[in-house]
Amino acid sequence: MADTVVFAVGGDQLHVLLVRRANAPFAGAWALPGGFVEPGESPEDAARRELLEETGVTVRALDQIGAYGDPGRDPRGPTLSVVHRGLLPELVDVQAGTDAAAAAFLPVRQALARNTELAFDHRRILSDAVDGLRADIEQCSIATALCPPRFTLSQLRRVYEAVWGHVIDAPNFRRKVLMTEGYVVPLGRTAAPGPDGGKPAHLYRAGKRVTLTPPLYRHSAH
């Protein structure tokens, strides 16, 4: 099998893309989009296909984050699921596929809440995926994948704050990001200020660097 965890940031909260299952087992429960790998497909191909079929969503890149093969994870019989992670720059519109009752972005906090039922071992998978994202964002430049093509440093900072769940000192964040050569590339332009006014911010795009050395530490602020 191939399941996918798609993250996006919206409203200062980290969201995950889920589908509501129409059929047994776990009918009515939320689940990660996914399905079976067809002959000739790589697991990543299958993940991308199932994601499109079930939610209408396409992602630029999918990274493998683990394989879950515990016997008993599926009541229908032993299966092995290769799980990939995708990142989107915004909460895009979602269209539920034929075998899904619904598809939507849920805040991760809500998806992992006690009263939300997740199918199979998807609670465990999602929990691992969140931990992995929090770690990777510290060491790698993947945070730009959660931003639009052109973004301000405040937008990038809000991605970190949403993923880590705490505020970051803006001046220090700015210095760290700009000091890390190749992380972001300045564009000449400046963005329009927000609805509350404020100084217009410079625009940047993602650079070519993939590893952040030194990392952006996720110490709790204050």
Partner DNA sequence: ACAAAAGTGTTGGACTTACACCCATGC
Partner DNA sequence: GCATGGGTGTAAGTCCAACACTTTTGT
Question: Does 221 participate in binding its own copies (rule CB under 8 A)?
Answer: no
- Provide the CA 16 distance to its chain's centre, in angstroms: 6
Pair of tokens at residue 18? 């889920």
Binding DNA by CB under 7 A: which of 75, 93, 195, 208?
Answer: 195
Q: Which 110-169 positions form the footprint of DNA (CB under 7 A)?
A: 152-154, 169
Identify the three-state secondary structure at position 17: strand
Distance CA 26, CA 120 (A): 8
H-state helical runs in 6-152: 43-55, 108-111, 122-139
C-beta neighbour count of 72 within 10 angstroms: 9
Specify the residue, 72 or 195, whose C-beta has the smaller distance to DNA. 195
Side-chain-facing half-sphere of 166: CA atoms under 13 Å: 8
Distance CA 137, CA 154 (A): 16
Question: Does 124 participate in binding its own copies (rule CB under 8 A)?
Answer: no
Q: With beta carbons less than 8 A apart as the criterion, state whether 111 and 126 touch.
A: yes
Binding its own copies by CB under 8 A: which of 70, 90, 99, 131?
Answer: 70
From the list DNA, its own copies, none, partner contacted by residue 193 (C-beta under 5 to 8 A by kind): DNA
Binding its own copies by CB under 8 A: which of 23, 28, 36, 69?
Answer: 69
* Residue 42 Cβ vs its own copies, minimum distance, rounded to whole Å: 5
Pair of tokens at residue 163? 């993923």
Binding residues for its own copies, rule CB under 8 A, total: 16
Binding site for its own copies (CB under 8 A): 37, 39-44, 64, 66-67, 69-71, 78, 80, 82
Binding site for DNA (CB under 7 A): 152-154, 169-172, 174-176, 179, 190, 193-202, 214, 217, 219, 221-222
